[in-house]
Amino acid sequence: MGVTEQGDLTEQETATPDYTMGYGEEYLQALLRVSAKTHATHLLPYLEPGLKVLDFGCGPGTISIGLAEAVAPAEVHGIDMEPSQIDLARMFARRYGRDNATFHVGDVTAMPFEDGFFDVAHCQNVLMHVPDTQAVLREVKRVLKPDGIIASREMISGSSFTHPDFEVLRKAWDMFEDLLAADDGHPQMGKDMKTHFLEAGLVDIRVSASFDTFTTPDEVAFIHQIAQQWFLAPEITEAAIKYGAATQALCDQIGVAYDRWKDHPGAFAGVAYGEVLAWKPTS
């Protein structure tokens, strides 16, 4: 067993740096819409039964469960610093009968796994939140076998859009970027990964890009709900105003514009992503 004696870290032992998205019900709804089949398409062709997989920053584990299906009966380990997300991931694993998926509370910069334990390491929208990218990549490299694969999919906020814009919705993206940067996050990580992976000494780096798109009535209603109930919720807008990323008047304008957007027949939103696949060198 490659999990070190340290096992799960307790909440107290776990580093809990600021995490811009929070763990509220509204943002959780966004995470529950993702799966390996829809959001790990760059990695799935490389998975086969028997490969041991790490899903670092796994959140509620909806991607981890699909990865576990692809490599069964081999082990998949998900790790996240937030106990409530790990509880959800364990619940989903039980619900889908994925007994090869195990979940741990812990920090991705200090993981409770032996050196060279995994064949594959995966993450989505995690590097954008952790201040020290090289610290994460060093740790992931440590727990990967030589010739192991690392696959990451991260947002490019600057290339994401909400259309029509009503001359204000781009400012919501700007506000999100300022807020994330104020928490030492990286809003354009999807574009920066190639540079970081090269610097980390990873090889055979393959880069691609894609959009998650939202255009059907259900998808438009979902984005509207996320904007109104999560992004424009007092905890987020108060932080944005405190950091100088917004004013109350701007938040009010954005709220009105999102209501107009929801009812516009041409409503279309796209969240841009960069994807990277890379290998740990054999020596």
Query: What is the binding site for ligand SAM (CB under 6 A)?
Result: 17, 19, 21, 31, 34, 57-59, 62-63, 80-82, 85, 107-109, 123-126, 129-130
Tell the smallest beta-carbon distance from residue 50 to ligand SAM (Å): 23
DSSP H or E run through 208: strand 203-214
Residue closer to ligand SAM by CB (options 126, 250) is: 126
**Contacts of 13 by beta carbon, 8 Å cutoff, 6+ apart:** none
Tell the smallest beta-carbon distance from residue 15 to ligand SAM (Å): 6
Residue closer to ligand SAM by CB (options 89, 257) is: 89
Residue closer to ligand SAM by CB (options 48, 87) is: 87
DSSP H or E run through 248: helix 248-262
Residue closer to ligand SAM by CB (options 126, 220) is: 126
* Per-position DSSP letters for 34-90, written without gaps between them: --HHHH-TTTGGG--TT--EEEET-TT-HHHHHHHHHHTTS-EEEEES-HHHHHHHH
Cβ pair 27, 60 in contact under 8 A: no
Tell the smallest beta-carbon distance from residue 256 to ligand SAM (Å): 27
* Per-position DSSP letters for 130-147, written without gaps between them: -S-HHHHHHHHHHHEEEE
Burial class (CB in 10 A: 0-12, 13-18, 19+), 271: buried
Q: How far apart are CA 153 and CA 279, in angstroms?
A: 15
Q: How far apart are CA 271 and CA 125, in angstroms?
A: 12
Cβ pair 176, 157 in contact under 8 A: yes
Tell the smallest beta-carbon distance from residue 82 to ligand SAM (Å): 4
Q: How many residues does the chain have?
A: 283
Tell the smallest beta-carbon distance from residue 75 to ligand SAM (Å): 18
Query: Tokens 């670092």 correspond to what residue?
Result: 56
Tell the smallest beta-carbon distance from residue 258 to ligand SAM (Å): 21
Residue closer to ligand SAM by CB (options 120, 126) is: 126
Tell the smallest beta-carbon distance from residue 49 to ligand SAM (Å): 23
Residue closer to ligand SAM by CB (options 168, 239) is: 239
Residue closer to ligand SAM by CB (options 59, 112) is: 59
| In the complex, residue closest to ligand SAM by CB | 59
**Contacts of 38 by beta carbon, 8 Å cutoff, 6+ apart:** none
